[in-house]
Amino acid sequence: MWQDIETAPRNGDEFLAYGAYLYDGDFALTEYMRVANYSGNPEWPWEDDEGQHPVNFYSHWQPLPEPPNA
């Protein structure tokens, strides 16, 4: 279940993050879903495989599912 990003873990645990952004000139939102974590930087708090992102980049999060058993 999606939760507000303000409740996301800030202990380094990874989670699934969601965000949407309307770029200048676009007619539709660009949506993002990525595995992210808290970076520790209050101005650029979210970090994923593309680097750090500002406060409003993600809007929601949810825990990652358990991996399958081997």
Q: Which tokens go with 48?
A: 């994923």
Q: Under a CB-based contact definition with an 8 Å cutoff, are residues 18 and 31 in contact? A: yes
Give CA 7 to chain center in angstroms. Answer: 12
Over residues 18-59, the pLDDT tens digits come to 999 888 899 999 999 999 999 999 999 999 999 999 999 999
Question: CA 15 to CA 25: how far, in whole Å?
Answer: 31
Half-sphere exposure of 49 (CA within 13 A, CB side): 6
Give the predicted TM-score (pTM) of the model: 0.87
Predicted local confidence at residue 22, as pLDDT: 87
